[in-house]
């Protein structure tokens, strides 16, 4: 390639071209970001607007669905809190979520440590087997699990969900935690054992504190999975006071053919925002956890 | 250091026995793994075998006694045209959603790793479809696609593209398209997060080297980024496929399988048969059909992950 001697004018033109290209790239990035955000969030944005709409505004095919054509009213949101079991559903969801997260950690932490650190010949196949369990879907098991739940006497009780949900969360948590454990140097527990701790002591006192980011990722992820689960919750529980948000809102806020639309929309936004907010706080951690699980050490 | 340990051990002999047990790796490895294994065998393994047993029995919700009936359930299921329709719908639903999820997931991941102001807020909005309980977000869509008040129709009407209403969920073609669109919309962020993990792991210098060599955005995308993230994209695709293949929530909430089974998938058909229809045996037989395809998908995921580890 021949490089011609550049005159001052050429350089200016070149610089301008780069500046233009840079500007175009920035505009492209912002445009794409705004578009992506809109596509993803539009239904929620619109839910937020319609939650405060009056009936004659909402049920009028001519009125602009994205704006208030009549004065806004908080009545339907108040109705959600005072006249529907929404708060009970929220309480149940939090209770089930907390218990499931606790059970998940108790089961998954030792299992992940065993698979990642106590090298046994069966470690790898066992890890794969546990991962495969994650892929066995509720739609395959709900019929027989319903029978198991009835046998345990837990039908129509939220405890059925506490018992069954860890089958979804444990395998994926073990997988994530193995990833995080690989990032903790082995010297840490060797040093702790040299200092007089037993293997378990080293795990509890030296490894666990370093694993804290992984534990947080597992807590957030398990809770999200639990809150979104639908099939089991629908099959096991049909009594309103024991329902969780994911089944209670779509089934109990509808009376026959009458949908309490504004209240439904309010419930959706009120549930969606906090979960996405917390998840976003830990997104980077979750992304790194996934990569570490896949990178061999 | 070693001396402190023996000192401690001799000072408290009863502790030493415990410490020895807590140090034996073979024993520990089992003891720490066992609770999870027992739990999973009890609540996944046993129900799975039970599901197979149900498929060969005449169990109904009204008459829970177990009688072996051989292949009767399968014969009844095969004779029913709805089953074949559901099978075909499942395949269409899965393939179409998977393609959309991968394409948009890749684009979204590229947007999310770029640097720009307000990224935190954009990420929050983008995560919403995935982190919101699926039944709730689908309810929002139910109104979005309503037969009379649909905002989508309102926009189309004002653009002059239609007059009247499309009735998205009332016609077989548009109902299927709606179910696919909602499923793709809700799983794209998950695919994006998985692909992001792969993008972040690409060493910066490779990208920079390509940039210095004069490769433009598209060239870098096609010749560097995509080949390097291909295994992660494969993982994202398979996750999307498996989660779609076994999903019944979207079609259950949006269309209840209708109109006339146009959006019934295997999972929802098994639910209608097994729980609402009460015929547990037939429901189980239908659900079992998910398994062979699922197994193939799972093996494919593991292979992709292996390649990821090797590379």
B10 vs A contacts (CB less than 8 Å)? none
- B14: number of Cβ within 10 Å: 7
- How does residue B196 score in pLDDT terms, banded at 50, 70 and 90? confident
* Cβ atoms of residues A204 and A212 within 8 Å: no
Q: Are residues A44 and A97 in the same domain?
A: no
In 3D, which of B172, B296, B249 has the Cα closest to residue A142?
B249
For A150, phi then psi, to 5°, come to -65, -45
Domains of chain B (ranges, CATH numbers): 4-55 (no CATH), 75-310 (1.10.3720.10)
- pLDDT surpasses 90 at A105: yes
Structure confidence by residue, pLDDT tens digits, A144-196: 888 888 888 888 888 999 999 999 899 888 888 887 887 788 888 888 888 88
CB contact under 8 A, B111 and A264: no
Q: Which domain holds residue A132?
A: 78-294
Domain assignment present for residue A186? The answer is: yes
Coil vs helix vs strand at A258: strand
Q: Are residues A199 and A239 in the same domain?
A: yes
Helices B81-113 & A8-51, crossing angle to 10 degrees? 130
CB contact under 8 A, B309 and A267: no
- How does residue A229 score in pLDDT terms, banded at 50, 70 and 90? confident
Q: Are residues A89 and A57 in the same domain?
A: no
B 186-215 near A (Cβ less than 8 A): 188-189, 193-194, 196-198, 200-201
Domain assignment present for residue A3? The answer is: no
Listed residues A51, A73, A95: the one ending a domain:
A73
- pLDDT surpasses 60 at B45: yes
Residue of B1, B19, B290 lying closest to A198 (CB–CB)? B19
B 265-284 near A (Cβ less than 8 A): 266-267, 270-271, 274-275, 280, 283-284
Number of domains chain A is built from: 2
A107 vs B contacts (CB less than 8 Å)? 35-36, 39
pLDDT of residue A101: 95
Cβ burial B185-198 (10 Å sphere, 16+ → b, else e): bbbbbbbbbbbbbb
Coil vs helix vs strand at A65: coil
pLDDT of residue A3: 54
A106 vs B contacts (CB less than 8 Å)? 35
Q: Are residues A172 and A280 in the same domain?
A: yes
Distance CA A19, CA B246 (A): 50
Structure confidence by residue, pLDDT tens digits, B245-294: 888 888 888 888 778 788 888 888 888 888 888 788 888 888 888 888 88
Comparing alpha-carbon positions, the chain A residue that sits nearest to B229 is: A291
Comparing alpha-carbon positions, the chain B residue that sits nearest to A44 is: B140
- CATH number of the domain that A154 lies in? 1.10.3720.10
Per the prediction, chain A carries an average pLDDT of: 82
* Cβ atoms of residues B252 and B271 within 8 Å: yes
pLDDT of residue A100: 95
CB contact under 8 A, B280 and A291: no
Q: Are residues A91 and A151 in the same domain?
A: yes
CB contact under 8 A, B193 and A170: no
Q: Are residues A59 and A205 in the same domain?
A: no
Residue of B39, B116, B242 lying closest to A166 (CB–CB)? B39
Listed residues A45, A73, A101: the one ending a domain:
A73
Structure confidence by residue, pLDDT tens digits, A53-95: 877 777 777 777 777 777 778 888 888 888 888 889 999 999 9
B 66-95 near A (Cβ less than 8 A): none
Comparing alpha-carbon positions, the chain B residue that sits nearest to A163 is: B43
- How does residue A102 score in pLDDT terms, banded at 50, 70 and 90? very high
Q: Are residues A25 and A88 in the same domain?
A: no
CB contact under 8 A, B149 and A276: no
In 3D, which of B252, B258, B269, B266 has the Cα closest to residue B139?
B252
Q: Are residues A12 and A109 in the same domain?
A: no
Listed residues A36, A53, A73: the one ending a domain:
A73
pLDDT of residue B170: 78
Q: What is the mean pLDDT of residues B113-132?
A: 87
Domain assignment present for residue A90? The answer is: yes
SS3 letters for chain B? CHHHHHHHHHHCHHHHHHHHHCCCHHHHHHHHHHHHHHHHHHHHHHHHHHHHHHHCECCCCCCCCCCECCCHHHHHHHHCHHHHHHHHHHHHHHHHHHHHHHHHHHHHHHHHHCCCCCHHHHHHHHHHHHHCCHHHHHHHHHHHCCCCCCHHHHHHHHCCCCCCCCCHHHCHHHHHHHHHHHHHHHHHHHHHHHHHHHHHHCCHHHHHHHHHCCCCHHHHHHHHHHHHHHHHHHHHHHHHHHHHHCCCHHHHHHCCCCCCCCCCCHHHHHHHHHHHCCCHHHHHHHHHCHHHHHHHHHHHHHHHHHHHHHC
Residue of A50, A141, A249 lying closest to B136 (CB–CB)? A249
Q: Are residues A132 and A58 in the same domain?
A: no
Comparing alpha-carbon positions, the chain A residue that sits nearest to B297 is: A135
Q: Are residues A142 and A284 in the same domain?
A: yes
pLDDT of residue A6: 58
Q: Are residues A107 and A150 in the same domain?
A: yes
The residue among A127 and B109 whose pLDDT is bigger is: B109
Domain assignment present for residue A284? The answer is: yes
Residue B57 forms beta bridges with which residues? B68
* CA distance to partner chain B, nearest, from residue A293 (Å): 9
* CA distance to partner chain B, nearest, from residue A242 (Å): 17
Domain assignment present for residue A2? The answer is: no
List, in sequence order, every beta strand (DSSP E) within chain A: 254-255, 258-259
- Which ipTM did the prediction report? 0.79
Domain assignment present for residue A158? The answer is: yes
Q: Does the model's pTM come out above 0.90?
A: no
Q: Are residues A83 and A67 in the same domain?
A: no
**Interface test with chain A among B29, B55, B182, B238, by most A beta carbons within 10 Å:** B29
Task: Please enumerate, as own/partner, the contacts of A163-167 that have beta carbons within 8 Å and a separation of 24 or more.
Answer: A163/B43, A164/A232, A164/A236, A164/B43, A165/A96, A165/A100, A165/A225, A165/A226, A165/A229, A165/A232, A166/A100, A166/A103, A166/A104, A166/A107, A166/B39, A166/B43, A167/A133, A167/A141, A167/B39, A167/B40, A167/B43, A167/B44
A145 vs B contacts (CB less than 8 Å)? 43, 47
Domain assignment present for residue A155? The answer is: yes
Kindly report which listed range (B29-43, B135-149, B172-186) carries the lowest average pLDDT score.
Answer: B135-149
């Amino acid at each position: 390639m021949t490089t011609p001697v550049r005159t001052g004018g050429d350089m200016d033109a070149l610089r301008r071209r780069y500046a233009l290209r840079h500007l175009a790239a920035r505009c492209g990035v912002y445009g794409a970001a705004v578009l992506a955000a809109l596509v993803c969030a539009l239904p929620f944005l619109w839910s937020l607007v319609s939650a405060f709409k009056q009936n004659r505004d909402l049920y009028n095919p001519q009125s602009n669905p994205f704006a208030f054509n009549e004065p806004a009213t908080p009545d339907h949101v108040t109705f959600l809190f005072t006249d529907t079991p929404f708060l009970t559903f929220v309480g149940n969801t939090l209770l089930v979520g907390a218990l499931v997260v606790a059970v998940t950690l108790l089961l998954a932490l030792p299992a992940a440590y065993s698979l990642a650190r106590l090298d046994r010949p069966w470690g790898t196949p066992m890890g794969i087997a546990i991962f495969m369990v994650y892929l066995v879907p509720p739609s395959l098991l709900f019929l027989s699990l319903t029978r198991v739940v009835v046998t345990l006497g837990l039908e129509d009780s939220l405890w059925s969900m506490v018992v069954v949900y860890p089958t979804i969360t444990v395998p994926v948590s073990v997988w994530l935690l193995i990833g995080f454990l690989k990032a903790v140097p082995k010297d840490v527990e060797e040093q702790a054992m040299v200092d007089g701790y037993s293997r378990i002591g080293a795990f509890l006192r030296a490894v666990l504190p370093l694993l804290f980011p992984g534990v947080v990722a597992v807590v957030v992820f398990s809770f999200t999975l639990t809150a979104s689960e639908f099939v089991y919750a629908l099959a096991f529980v049909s009594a309103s006071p024991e329902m969780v948000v994911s089944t209670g809102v779509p089934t109990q806020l509808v009376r026959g053919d009458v949908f309490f639309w504004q209240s439904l929309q309010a419930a959706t936004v009120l549930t969606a925002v906090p979960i996405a907010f917390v998840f976003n706080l830990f997104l980077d951690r979750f992304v790194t956890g996934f990569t570490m699980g896949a990178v061999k050490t | 250091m070693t001396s402190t340990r023996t000192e401690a051990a001799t000072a408290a002999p009863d502790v030493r026995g415990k410490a020895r047990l807590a140090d034996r790796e073979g024993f520990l490895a089992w003891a720490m793994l066992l609770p999870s294994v027992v739990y999973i065998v009890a609540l996944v393994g046993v129900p799975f075998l039970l599901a197979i047993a149900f498929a060969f029995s005449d169990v109904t919700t009204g008459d829970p006694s177990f009688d072996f009936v051989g292949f009767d359930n399968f014969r009844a299921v095969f004779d029913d045209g709805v089953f074949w329709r559901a099978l075909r719908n499942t395949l269409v639903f899965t393939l179409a959603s998977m393609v959309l999820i991968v394409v948009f997931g890749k684009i979204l991941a590229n947007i999310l790793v770029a640097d720009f102001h307000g990224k935190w807020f954009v990420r929050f909005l983008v995560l919403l479809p995935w982190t919101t309980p699926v039944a709730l977000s689908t309810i929002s869509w139910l109104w979005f696609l309503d037969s009379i008040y649909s905002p989508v129709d309102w926009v189309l009407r004002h653009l002059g593209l239609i007059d009247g209403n499309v009735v998205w969920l009332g016609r077989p073609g548009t109902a299927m398209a709606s179910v696919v669109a909602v499923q793709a919309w809700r799983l794209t962020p998950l695919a994006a997060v998985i692909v992001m993990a792969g993008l972040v792991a690409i060493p910066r210098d490779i990208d920079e080297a390509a940039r210095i060599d004069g490769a433009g955005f598209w060239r870098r995308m096609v010749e560097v980024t995509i080949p390097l993230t291909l295994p992660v994209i494969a993982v994202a695709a398979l996750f999307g496929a498996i989660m779609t293949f076994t999903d019944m929530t979207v079609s259950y909430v949006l269309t209840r399988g209708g109109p006339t089974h146009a959006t019934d998938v295997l999972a929802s058909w098994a639910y209608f048969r097994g729980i609402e229809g009460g015929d547990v045996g037939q429901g189980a037989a239908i659900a079992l059909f998910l398994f062979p395809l699922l197994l193939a998908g799972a093996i494919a995921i593991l292979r992709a992950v292996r390649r990821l580890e090797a590379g």
